[in-house]
Structure 1
Amino acid sequence: MTIAERAPLQCLSATEAAALIRAEPDIKVFDVRDMQSFKQEHLAGAMHLTEDRVPLWLTRLEKTTPVLIYCYHGNSSKTFAQMFSDFRFARVYSVDGGYRPLANALAEPAKAAVDELSEALAAFMVQWDFDPRDLNAPGEHGLTPLMRAALSGEQGLVTELLALGVDVHARNDDGNTALWLACVPRSTAIVQALIEAGISLDNRNDAGSTALMYTASSDRPELLKLLLDAGADPQVRNFDDLRAVELAASAACLKLLRHTAD
């Protein structure tokens, strides 16, 4: 392969890389530091990568999969990223500055000037004693503004918060995300919006339960179908070793899950 045939390799700042990770839920993130450093801390969802395992990933991933690689300072990641680029991966990124700046950038809360909030959202923040300057800060029971809006069935507020870039992966004191909470008021519109925002479909709370299990056990077939159609995994088991099909509270839910019973 000639240099001209290589797919372009892009170097991103930590801020740019953090924004890309938030915007691209399907991005594949690799950590090429040593294993000890990886075990001590790494980005959520990142895979450890060594040179001898690169060929495995080159054949396993679709060439259209976006790939982002970080190391200690942004040097080794360029070498690894070039390997993917040489094999014509369409979008390959190396993080300048490495792990620590990227981790810090991802930890930055979503900020918004008070005057950027709609009147309805500003009133909502006051009502629930949230800080309007930090849209990811949790309040009572560890609920963020997005979680509270989802639990309250406030579709317009959820839409606005998502547009402001809030963290859809945050978990409350019980380990639930906004997806589970949106199922409580049976809001198909909010659940769909969260799915489209890239929220994890199979997050397990502190009891090991997923939103799919909740919709099955609480007789919410319309939401159960929505989650299944989006790709939620019906084979996940809770800490009592039960799957959604074994928790189904109605014939309608059982019918939707019948193909998972075996």
Structure 2
Amino acid sequence: MTTTAPLTSRADHRISAADAADMVARHREGVLPELAVFDVRDPARYAAAHVEGALHLTEAGFLTVARSLPKTTPVLVYCYHGNASKTYAQMFADFRYPEVYSVDGGYEVFAAAIAAQAAGQKLPAGPRKPGPELAAFLARHRFDPFDLDAPREHGLTPLMRAALEGDADIVGDLLTLRVSVARRNMDGNNALWLACVAGKAEIVRQLVAAGIDVDNRNDMGATCLMYAASAGKPGMVALLLECGADPQIPNFDDARAVDLAATRECLELLRHTLRPAASAH
């Protein structure tokens, strides 16, 4: 997920408005199969305006919801300013919902983040007609040639699929057509993660040059740097650090990339980057 302060934390049951808006967007696109959004403000405020799809929730109605909502469903709760929603989030957590968040900032901030997310996903003006090779790629994977950001299986967009296949030419064609580098799949990973899986340095550089979030945290709080370290890919670790990846970001278990390093080479690369921060204390 994103690294805007405060960081989204599964342990603390809180989420930034931007990350919550991203979950809503992925759910509306069908990338995130399940999501429940609850508004715990007073009925009048809810009736006046609320997030599309959000259900009104009160303490009196909580048990009914908790008994019927599948435990596998991620839950977002918002209120006026992000205070009362924390109480409700804890209530869901007490009922053993593993993924429940109180939205920081409350309704106004959340609604603004959803609007900004939607605006950022609008197709840019200008022609987006794919060339023959890209058209063949799209057809092979049954992507929509008229919407180059539309996801398919596992929430993968054409850019993500091309990155996973290690096809730098197709990635380049898609970036030339100004596809979004902000899209995330059903696990919350962006195309950079998939380029790291493929081990393609050229594609990593292409995506970074296009402005992709190097420190995107997925739905488990993991970054690309954490993946590369845990997969024992020292070349990729070095490249991500060169591209500005932050080695001190924690995942939801409070582990950093250095804690997940699977090889001595990865560990040494990450120890070196953390040494200045440690000596400052």
Please indicate the TM-score interval, normalised by the length of the shorter structure: 0.5 to 0.7
- Distance of 2:119 and 2:161 partners within structure 1: 25
Q: 2:241 aligns with which of 223, 228, 234?
A: 228
- Distance of 1:112 and 1:154 partners within structure 2: 25
- 1:137, 1:144 within 8 Å by CA — same for their partners in 2? yes
Aligned twin of 2:254 = 241
Is 1:178 aligned to 2:191, yes or no? yes
Q: 1:41 aligns with which of 100, 111, 117?
A: 111
How far off its partner does 1:43 sit? 4.1
Aligned twin of 1:162 = 175
Q: TM (normalized to structure 2)? A: 0.57
Using a 3 Å threshold, how does the CA distance of structure 1 residues 36 and 223 change in structure 2: closer, same or farther? closer
Identity percentage over the alignment? 50
How far off its partner does 1:155 sit? 0.2
Aligned twin of 1:109 = 123
Unaligned residue ranges in structure 1 (runs of 5+): 1-34, 45-99
Using a 3 Å threshold, how does the CA distance of structure 1 residues 135 and 235 change in structure 2: closer, same or farther? same
- Distance of 1:37 and 1:136 partners within structure 2: 28
How far off its partner does 1:186 sit? 0.5
Aligned twin of 1:190 = 203
- 1:202, 1:210 within 8 Å by CA — same for their partners in 2? yes
- Distance of 1:199 and 1:188 partners within structure 2: 14
Aligned twin of 2:218 = 205
- 1:248, 1:254 within 8 Å by CA — same for their partners in 2? yes
Q: TM (normalized to structure 1)? A: 0.61
Q: Does the residue aligned with 1:207 lie in a helix, a strand or coil?
A: coil
- Distance of 1:245 and 1:171 partners within structure 2: 25
Is 1:150 aligned to 2:163, yes or no? yes
- Distance of 2:244 and 2:191 partners within structure 1: 17
- Distance of 1:212 and 1:40 partners within structure 2: 29
Q: What is the aligned length?
A: 172
Which protein has greater RCO, CA pairs closer than 8 Å, 6+ apart? 2
- Distance of 2:125 and 2:148 partners within structure 1: 6
Structure 1 vs Structure 2 CA RMSD: 2.3
How far off its partner does 1:113 sit? 5.8
- Distance of 1:126 and 1:113 partners within structure 2: 19
- Distance of 1:40 and 1:157 partners within structure 2: 35
How far off its partner does 1:230 sit? 1.4
- Distance of 2:263 and 2:134 partners within structure 1: 37
Using a 3 Å threshold, how does the CA distance of structure 1 residues 140 and 103 change in structure 2: closer, same or farther? closer
Aligned twin of 2:97 = none
- Distance of 1:222 and 1:154 partners within structure 2: 19
